[in-house]
A and B are shown apart, each in its own frame.
Chain A
Amino acid sequence: MTFSFNRQALLLRTDFSVAGASCFLSTNSEEVLQAAERWKKVQPRAQAKSFEMDIFVEAALDVEGMQRAHFRGLRHLVWVALPPRGLITYDLLRRRVRAVLTSRAAGDLAFWDSLLLPVTIGILGTTMGVAPLHCACLDRNGSALLVAGASGAGKSTLATALGKRGFAVVSDDWTYLTLGESGLIAHGLAAPIKLLPDTTRFFSELEKFALRMTLNGEEAYEVDARRELGFAVKEMTEPKWMFLLERSTARGCRMIPCRAEYVKGFFEQGAERLPEELPQAKVSRSKVIQKLSECPAWILHTGESPQATATAVDHFLAERQNEYA
């Protein structure tokens, strides 16, 4: 099967803003246009560059069975196979995305929110001045706190507990940062919150949801923060504070002030290796990390439940907010 990506074949066009970047979309499918419609409501912030995304929808690919997600890249090319039967290729030098999707995936908003857009911005972001950073982001009265930590530290669980306390959720896992004249902006992509099965001991309401197989092959609850948990959700906010979350066996919650160099090292050392074909991408990501490291930061040692930790964080920030007011 051959797909020729040209203007004659992909007659439907629109554009939208995602994570501060502009996407110029061409497709042969009305379903894709409709799925993109909701992203047109996101207020554009012209901080990042633009990219082209061409999507072919092919009904012949709608066959039984489901392929596993598979990611590979060499130099400036990236191949991504996504379930159920999609293939997406990324040309990082020219900022072009070419995708062939099943009609089932094309109009599925969950596919867009959980896979297509996070994967696209995750792969292409650094070429456009968007730094994907592995941290949760929550907004408190217009100011944001970022929660970083090693995998399994409890970022999503704490984000859920903070969401229940009235913090607006921007993201629970990956946050996309841009740096403009007005400073840093943190963007979320409305991706569902991912919580591991044992989280039900803290949030029993999760039991009514079904466990799903996630991209990394583990079972988890994936719940929509606004629709299924009733949380406030924001698409973007301004980062003000940073917490590096560390689980502790000792009871209590301690906030230990953290130097800028430590925050910078944490993100730089955990960042994806980029190919030498993209020198500017690495530079722009480092600028974002440098700026982020200037925010007040603390190591958050906690041996408490997510709810108790969220309460401690809330009170701590209320005091900081009063100090700055």
Chain B
Amino acid sequence: MSMHDSANYRDPLDVLRRFIPTPHRARYRIGPIRVVVETNDFTLLPGLPFDEAGTEMAEWTFEWKLVRDAEAVGTLDEPLSLTSGTLTIVYMGTACLLGLDHERRELLGFIGVEVGASTFQEYLLPILCRMSTEALGPHLLSSIPGAEERRVVDA
């Protein structure tokens, strides 16, 4: 079973499920960005190049905390995005809740139990990457190989 013991996580004092343990950790690279991912499900570790120790220093570090939510059933809905100066929220029903804090460079999210590994890697991961790179602003985005092209295609 890929998911950590958190499938049985129950804490009546944690109704928001904030404290589900996320023991799997790894570091990745998206251009000049280092992404430190922590999760309770190794199928949510992204298929991105690892940030290996000893390579050049990353200019920006983002933290992603991705929680596989064993209680959130259902598939992905159409995305609903809420944007403000400091936060970007993406809601796809209870199967996917994402929130990016631009200032703190933290991307936090819950992924429902019925969202498969391939859906995560092929559909959600590009969204996570785009949210993180866009948080750097357009002037920094241009320094990331491929990022501008992706924006044009998305538009």
Hey, which bits of chain A sit against chain B, CB under 8 A? Answer: 1-6, 54, 67-68, 70-79, 81, 87, 89, 91, 94, 96, 98, 100, 270-273, 275
Contacts and interface: CB of A to CB of B under 8 A. Distances in A.
Contacts of B87: 77, 89, 91, 96, 98
Shortest Cβ-Cβ A-B pairs, 4 listed: A73-B16, A74-B108, A5-B84, A2-B81
Interface string B70-84: 001000001111111
A1 B81 contact: yes
B78 A1 contact: yes
A75 B17 contact: no
A160 to B, nearest CB: 26
B86 A87 contact: no
B11 A273 contact: yes
B89 A70 contact: no
Contact of B13 (A6, A70, A77, A273): A273
B46 interface: no
Given A72-B72, A74-B18, A75-B108, 7 more contacts: A2-B81, A3-B81, A70-B72, A76-B101, A91-B87, A96-B84, A273-B13
Contacts of B18: 73-75, 273, 275
Contacts of B101: 76-77, 91
A78 B80 CA distance: 16
9 contacts: A1-B79, A2-B80, A3-B83, A70-B94, A74-B65, A77-B87, A87-B91, A100-B80, A100-B82
Interface of B: 11, 13-19, 65, 67, 69, 72, 78-87, 89, 91, 93-94, 97, 99, 101, 106, 108-110
Contacts of B109: 74
Contacts of B81: 1-3
B83 A81 contact: no
A272 B79 CA distance: 30
Nearest to A91: B87
Contacts of A271: 13
A238 to B, nearest CB: 28
A72 B83 contact: no
A25 to B, nearest CB: 15
B140 to A, nearest CB: 21
Contacts of A54: 84
A175 B11 CA distance: 22
B94 A273 contact: no
B82 A3 contact: yes
A199 B85 CA distance: 49
B82 A91 contact: no
Contacts of B80: 1-3, 87, 100
A72 B86 contact: no
A81 B82 contact: no
Nearest to B69: A72
